[in-house]
């Protein structure tokens, strides 16, 4: 699990084709690798990858064709910058929200507009994901935990403060770019509970009464 609080921005150092899929080597820049062991998980652009090789300031991970097709990894090349976060420890602060590193789909940057010193970003998402996105709810974009400002159809908006833009790959993004999306896991469990039925007493009225829906 991760928090969606980016620890540093690394770069893709090498992409090797191996038996039909790829092995990525990632330059981890300032990320402290002293407590990382083989087999540990690291979120790369919001995708949970397993470290299979370790260097002083790098690691390698195997990426399947499934991951390449469902994420923005298929569009990356050597030198591409990626958000990095090591896996959450039980003693860590949960500054963002619970993130699994399992990307639900690709979104697209629609627009970026200045709002004081901050920026307002609008994203377009696959229709199947819209039911999981709610105003003031959480969403993970390229591994970054963000709060949804508003939702309209299959589009939603967020506000990015200067620190977030400067310390993540949002500094590289422009309208039309693809981004990795992971919806809040709570939304999926709520959907599952509502769909389960069976007299459990949980329905839309129950959720509204207890502040989980409007």
Residue 28 CA to residue 32 CA, distance in Å, equals 8
Residue 154 CA to residue 107 CA, distance in Å, equals 10
Neighbours of 44 (CB within 10 A): 27
Residue 173 CA to residue 9 CA, distance in Å, equals 14
105: its two tokens? 């789909």
> Binning pLDDT at 50, 70 and 90, where does residue 12 land?
very high
Report the chain's mean pLDDT, rounded to a whole number: 91
Query: Residue 151 contacts by C-beta under 8 Å, 6 or more apart in sequence?
Result: 130, 133, 134, 135, 157
Per DSSP, 176 falls in state T
- State residue 200's pLDDT score: 60
Domains of the chain listed by start with CATH number: 8-86 (2.40.30.20), 105-191 (2.40.30.20)
> Binning pLDDT at 50, 70 and 90, where does residue 206 land?
confident
129: its two tokens? 């994901």
Q: What is the pLDDT of residues 90-118, one digit of tens each?
A: 888 888 898 999 999 999 999 999 999 99
Query: Residue 4 contacts by C-beta under 8 Å, 6 or more apart in sequence?
Result: 85, 96, 97, 99, 138, 140, 143, 144, 145, 146
Has residue 199 got a pLDDT over 70? no
Rounded to 5 degrees, what angle do the CA atoms 158, 139, 147 make? 40
3-state helix, strand, coil split of the chain in percent (to 5) is 20, 40, 40
Neighbours of 19 (CB within 10 A): 7
Residue 12 CA to residue 24 CA, distance in Å, equals 7
């Amino acid at each position: 699990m991760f928090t969606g609080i980016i620890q540093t921005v690394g770069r893709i150092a090498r992409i090797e084709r191996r038996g039909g899929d790829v092995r990525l080597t990632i330059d981890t820049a300032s990320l402290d690798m002293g407590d990382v062991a083989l087999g540990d998980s690291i979120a790369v652009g919001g995708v949970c990858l397993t470290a299979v090789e370790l260097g002083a300031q790098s690691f390698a991970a195997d990426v399947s064709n499934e991951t390449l097709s469902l994420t923005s990894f298929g569009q990356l090349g050597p030198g591409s910058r990626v958000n990095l976060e090591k896996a959450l420890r039980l003693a860590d602060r949960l500054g963002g929200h619970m993130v699994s590193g399992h990307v639900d789909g690709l979104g697209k940057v629609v627009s970026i507009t200045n709002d004081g010193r901050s920026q307002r970003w609008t994203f377009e998402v696959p229709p199947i994901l819209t039911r999981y996105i709610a105003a003031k709810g959480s969403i993970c974009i390229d591994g970054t935990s963000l709060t949804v400002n508003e939702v309209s159809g299959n589009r939603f908006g967020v506000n990015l403060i200067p620190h977030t833009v400067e310390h993540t790959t949002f500094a590289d993004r422009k309208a039309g770019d693809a981004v990795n999306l992971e919806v809040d896991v709570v939304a999926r469990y709520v959907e599952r509970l509502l769909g389960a039925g069976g007299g459990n007493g949980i329905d839309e009225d129950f959720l509204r009464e207890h502040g989980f829906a409007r």
